Chains A and B, each alone.
Chain A
Amino acid sequence: MAKEIHLQTPLKDEDLEKLNIGDKVLITGTVYTARDAAHKRLVDLIEAGKELPFDIKGQIIYFVGPAPARPGMPIGSAGPTTSYRMDSYSPILLDEGLKGMIGKGPRSKEVINSMIKNKGVYFAAIGGAAVVMAQSIKAAKVIAYEDLGTEAIRELKVENLPCIVANDVYGNDLFDEGVKKYRK
C-alpha cells in the first residue's frame, strides 16, 4: 500500500482533494454509524423537510451494525457492511453535506458521480476484520433510532480507524482499477 495519511473529522474539501485511490488513511474524530434501516429514516426526514438527528456537514457515515459491547468495552466487533445497499440513499446525503462513507464493496455510478459533484470520498474497510476495526473505536453512544437495535445511529469516537481510499473526489475507482490489474 502507498502512503499513510491521517484524517481528522469533520472533513474539509482540501483534506479530500489530497486523497487518491489506494491511499491508506487513519481516521480520527467522530464518525456516525448507519445501515439500511437508518438510511431510510434519514432520507425520509430530508424528503419531509425535517431536521436530521445530527449535523451531517463534513461528516463520515460508517456502514456498520456493531456486535454488542462486553462489559467495560466501548463497542463489540464492528466491521463494515456491504455498501451497495446504501447506494440509493447516499447521493441524497452527499447533497446534504456528507463528506465520507466507510463500507465494503463497490459503489454505483450514481454514487460515484455524486461524490465528484459534492467532493465526497468512499473509504473501504476490510470486511470481516471486525475486531481489528473495533480496536480503533474508543467510545460509542446511540444518538437516534434506539428501536433499531444494532441498526441504530451511533456516534463513535475513533482513533486511527484504518481504511483505504476506494473512490476519490476525482471519480477514480479502486475496485475497477485493482481488478483490471490482476485479471487474466
Chain B
Amino acid sequence: MREIDVNKIIPIVKKLCIDASIYIGDDVVEKLKEFQEKEESPIAKEIISIIFENQRLSVEKQMPLCQDTGVAVFFIELGQDVHLVGGDFYKAINEGVRQGYKEGYLRKSMVDDPIIERKNTKDNTPALIYLDIVQGDKIKITLAAKGGGSENMSEVKMMKAADGIEGVIDFVVDRVKRSGGNPCPPIIVGVGLGGNFEQSALLAKKSLLRPLNEKHPDPKWAKVEEEILEKVNNLGIGPQGLGGRTTAIAVQILAKPCHIASMPVAVNIQCHVHRHKSAVI
C-alpha cells in the first residue's frame, strides 16, 4: 500500500493543462509534414504551413495553440495499491484545472446548465473524469483537452450485425463527409466499436490517445484504419474544408466485445490541435 496525498495532484494537473495547450505532440507534426508533402492543393499546402507557424509561435509566446482550450477530459489509471489521503480526489483534479486555466491564461469554456441558463462557470470546471483501476501503486493521469468544434461533429450509431464492416466504414466516411470544414481539418478520426451505447463513445475518445505513428496492434483493424483513411481523404474536403487531399491524418480504432443484438459504432472527431499529455505519480 502506498499513500498519496491528493494535494500532490493539484500542481501536476495544473501543469498538464498549460503544457497541453501550448506544446503539440511530435507525432502530430510528423503526420502533418508527411501529408503536406503529398498534398496537391496549393491552398492546402499553405494552410498546413500556417499551422506549423502557429505551433512555433505558440511556444515562443507561451500562448495556447487554439483559443478553444477545451473541456478538460481526464483518463485516470489508479493503481489498486494506492491509498488516497488528504482530501477529495475529484476536487483535487478540479482545483488543478481551475489553477491551470487561470494561470495559463486559457479560455474558460464550460457553462453550468447545458440548455436554459448556459452560464459560464468562469474557471473551466467541472472536468470530465474517467477512472480505471489498474494493478500497481501508481496513478497515471492523462489529460485530453477537447475543443468544441470537432466534438460537435461526433456521433454514435447503433448499427446491426447485418450492416457488416462495409456498413461501419460507410458510416464513418459519411460522418466525416457531413462534417466538411467544420471540425478544423486536418482531423484525426477516433472510432469506437462495440461495447454498448455509452461505451462506444468512450472507446472512440480513448482511441485518440494512441500515438499517431503507432500502428494498430491487430493487423485486421490496422487494415480497416488504412481503408477508412484513404476513403476519407478521397472526399476532397482538405484542410479547413477548402479542398485538398489532407482531410484526415489518421484513423484510430478501439474495439471491444458487445451484445449479440448490437453493433454500436461511435465516431469522435479530433482537430489538428490534438492535445493530450500524461503524468505518472
| A residues lining the B interface (CB < 8 Å) | 1, 22, 37, 64-70, 76-79, 81-82, 84, 104-106, 124, 126-132, 134-135, 148-151, 164, 166, 174-175, 177-184
B107's partner among A1, A68, A132 (CB-CB below 8 A) is A68
Q: Does B152 contact A (CB under 8 A)?
A: yes
Instruction: Please tell me if B109 contacts chain A, counting CB pairs below 8 Å.
Output: yes
Q: Cβ of A166 and Cβ of B242 under 8 Å apart?
A: yes
Measured between beta carbons, the chain B residues less than 8 angstroms from A76 are 63-64, 67, 105, 107
Q: Are the CB atoms of A151 and B182 closer together than 8 Å?
A: no
Is B98 in contact with chain A by the CB < 8 A criterion?
no
With an 8 Å Cβ cutoff, the count of chain B residues facing the other chain is: 52
B271 touches A174 (CB 8 A): no
- Nearest B residue to A150 by beta-carbon distance? B107
- Nearest residue (CB) in B for A69 is B105
CA distance A135 to B65 in the complex (A): 13
A residues less than 8 Å from B237 (CB atoms): 179
Pick the contact of B149: A77, A82, A129 (CB < 8 A): A82
Residues of chain B lying within 8 A (CB to CB) of residue A177: 243
Minimum-distance CB pairs A-B, first 4: A178-B243, A183-B236, A182-B236, A127-B184
Contact for A182 among B41, B181, B184, CB less than 8 A: B41
Q: Is the CB of B120 within 8 A of A182?
A: no
Q: Which residue of A lies closest to B44 (CB)?
A: A182
A-B contact count (CB 8 A): 165
**Chain B interface, DSSP helix/strand/loop, else mixed:** loop
CA distance A153 to B221 in the complex (A): 47
How far, in Å, is A86 (CB) from chain B's closest CB? 12
Q: How many angstroms between the C-alpha atoms of A64 and B40 in the bound complex?
A: 30
Q: How far is the CA of A164 from the CA of B239 in the complex (A)?
A: 13
**Of B53, B105, B238, B241, which is within 8 A of A132 by CB?**
B53
Are the CB atoms of A149 and B65 closer together than 8 Å? Answer: no
Is B84's beta carbon under 8 Å from chain A? no
* A104 surroundings in chain B (CB, below 8 A): 149, 181-182, 184, 240-241
With beta carbons under 8 angstroms apart, the residue of B40, B58, B68, B180 that contacts A175 is: B180
A67 B107 Cβ-Cβ under 8 A: yes
Q: Is residue B57 within 8 Å, beta carbon to beta carbon, of the partner chain?
A: yes
The reply on B276 being an interface residue by CB < 8 A is no
Look across to chain A and name the residue whose beta carbon is closest to the beta carbon of B180: A106
Nearest CB in chain B: distance from A175 CB, A = 5
CA distance A166 to B47 in the complex (A): 14
Task: Return chain A residues, CB-CB under 8 Å to B62.
Answer: 70
